[in-house]
Structure 1
Amino acid sequence: MDEEDFFSSRPQDPLTQVVKQDLGPLSQDELQVRIETLKGEIARVEAHMAAASAHRSAADELFKK
């Protein structure tokens, strides 16, 4: 545990906690589940980014001078 983590008043970002997790104790099956879960999360974030981009483009067109 870093000193900054110990004295921090705000909760840690869950993504940071996932990245720091020790993978040593996990089985091959658990690692595969983790990979599939992370791939699903990547797809969800990419879909959100695409929707946000489309929304922004629509707003830009609406308010174009």
Structure 2
Amino acid sequence: MDGDDLPRVRTDAASLLAKEDLDRYSQDELMERIALLEAEIARIKAQHAKAAAHRNLADQLFKPRPSE
């Protein structure tokens, strides 16, 4: 069995956050964490919208012209 057959281990930040034990946090700390994560989600959504708009402009620019 070579390395390509093994499942990939996810080490991205979201996967690491999902594995973290939350029992040690107080209710206030959990609410602060929720606020930080919601702010990060908003930042990611804004970046996604920006990338989608950029992609749309590129698609329009490089769209093949109809033959006459």
TM class, shorter-length: 0.7 to 0.9
Change beyond 3 A, Cα 1:11–1:60: closer
Distance 2:51 2:45 in 1: 10
Match of 2:59 in 1: 60
Instruction: Give the TM-score, by structure 2 length.
Output: 0.74
After the TM superposition, which segments of 4 or more aligned residues of structure 1 sit over 2 Å from their partners? none
Match of 1:29 in 2: 28
Structure 1 portions without partners, runs of 5+: 1-9
Alignment coverage as a number of residue pairs: 56
Instruction: Give the TM-score, by structure 1 length.
Output: 0.77
Change beyond 3 A, Cα 1:14–1:64: same
Distance 1:11 1:22 in 2: 17
Structure that is richer in helix per residue: 1
Aligned residue runs from structure 1 range 1-65, under 5 A: 12-65=11-64
The percentage of counterpart residues that share the same residue type is 48
Amino acid at match of 1:21: E
